[in-house]
């Protein structure tokens, strides 16, 4: 099992596209979990919304995610796989940075929370669907399990660290600054993706021989 785990990491590290996706995804997961750790406290305690209203606003995010999933393939074809991923992730980060601007439990506050759900969840779903399809396409079939396992462990580890970090920042900096940190982290992840070879991809490339099983 250890050898197979190392093989999966080698494949990710050796391919610039997989490596860029891995770095960005880990950055997104860590940063977004900082937001998840404090957003309920922010909405309920600091803004003063009732749980029912917050639940309905989150429902908008569910609809947005569904629409994003339906549009993900078209966005990849219209914009190109790489640009769709970059724009989706960037939109998510920018939408999170709207949250600290919400004043109180008012129409303006509700509009900002709804805008974040509409602009963020659907956009990130477009990123996620396209990145998963891309990495499934360029990874050799016999290495898919090991590469997916590497991504999964990295993502879950980043989520754990992000949750702990969000709690610490929320206690020490406050809820609004923690949202700024989380949103900024997602934006940084999108910038890293834009600076990588992913940005110029119009479609998924054909797997290269260099991705063959290590030692094979």
List, for residues 46-60, the tens digit of each pLDDT value: 999 999 999 999 999
Q: In this model, does residue 34 exceed pLDDT 70? A: yes
Q: In this model, does residue 173 exceed pLDDT 50? A: yes
In a domain, 179, yes or no: yes
Give dist(CA 169, CA 188) in Å, integer: 18
In a domain, 7, yes or no: no
In a domain, 46, yes or no: yes
Mean local confidence (pLDDT), 169-197 = 97
Q: Would you say the C-alpha torsion 6, 8, 14, 19 has a positive or negative sign?
A: negative
* Whole-Å CA distances, 26 to 21, 29, 145: 8, 5, 18
Mean local confidence (pLDDT), 121-147 = 93
* Whole-Å CA distances, 158 to 26, 64, 152, 186: 6, 24, 10, 13
Q: Which pairs with CB-CB distance under 8 Å and at least 24 residues apart come from 206-214? A: 207/137, 207/138, 207/139, 207/140, 208/15, 210/14, 210/15, 211/11, 211/14, 211/15, 211/138, 211/139, 211/140, 211/143, 212/140, 213/7, 213/140, 213/142, 213/143, 214/7, 214/10, 214/11
Q: In this model, does residue 190 exceed pLDDT 90? A: yes
Q: How many domains does the chain have?
A: 1
pTM recorded for the entire structure:
0.89
Q: In this model, does residue 138 exceed pLDDT 50? A: yes
Confidence of residue 211 (pLDDT cuts 50, 70, 90): very low
What is the per-residue pLDDT for 206? 63
Residues in CB range of 1: below 8 A, 6 or more apart: none
Q: In this model, does residue 8 exceed pLDDT 70? A: yes
In a domain, 173, yes or no: yes
CATH number of the structural domain spanning residue 90: 1.20.1250.20
What is the per-residue pLDDT for 216? 40
In a domain, 170, yes or no: yes
Q: In this model, does residue 207 exceed pLDDT 50? A: yes
Q: In this model, does residue 176 exceed pLDDT 80? A: yes
**What is the span of the domain harbouring residue 106?**
15-200
In a domain, 55, yes or no: yes
Q: In this model, does residue 87 exceed pLDDT 90? A: yes
What percentage of the chain carries pLDDT values higher than 70?
95
In a domain, 185, yes or no: yes
In a domain, 111, yes or no: yes
Among 30, 19, 34, 28, residue whose Cα is nearest residue 158: 30
Q: In this model, does residue 146 exceed pLDDT 80? A: yes
Distance from the Cα of residue 1 to its chain's centroid: 28
- Average pLDDT of the chain is 92
Report residue 60 as tokens: 């908008």
């Amino acid at each position: 099992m250890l050898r197979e785990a190392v093989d999966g990491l080698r494949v990710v590290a050796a391919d610039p596209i997989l490596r860029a996706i891995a770095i960005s995804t880990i950055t997104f997961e860590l940063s977004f979990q900082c937001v998840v750790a404090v957003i309920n406290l922010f909405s309920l305690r600091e803004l003063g919304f009732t749980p029912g209203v917050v639940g309905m606003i989150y429902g908008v995010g569910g609809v947005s995610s569904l629409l994003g999933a339906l549009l993900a393939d078209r966005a990849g074809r219209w914009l190109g796989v790489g640009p769709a991923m970059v724009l989706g992730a960037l939109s998510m980060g920018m939408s999170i940075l709207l949250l600290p601007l919400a004043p109180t439990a008012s129409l303006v506050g509700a509009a900002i929370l709804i805008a974040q759900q509409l602009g963020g969840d659907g956009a990130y779903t477009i990123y996620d669907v396209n990145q998963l399809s891309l990495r499934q396409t360029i990874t050799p079939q016999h290495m898919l399990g090991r590469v997916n396992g590497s991504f999964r462990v990295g993502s879950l580890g980043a989520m754990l660290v992000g949750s702990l970090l969000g709690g610490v920042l929320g206690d020490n900096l406050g809820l609004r600054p923690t949202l700024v940190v989380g949103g900024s982290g997602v934006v940084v992840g999108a910038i890293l993706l834009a600076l990588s070879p992913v940005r110029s991809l119009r479609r998924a490339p054909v797997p290269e021989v260099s991705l063959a099983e290590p030692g094979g």
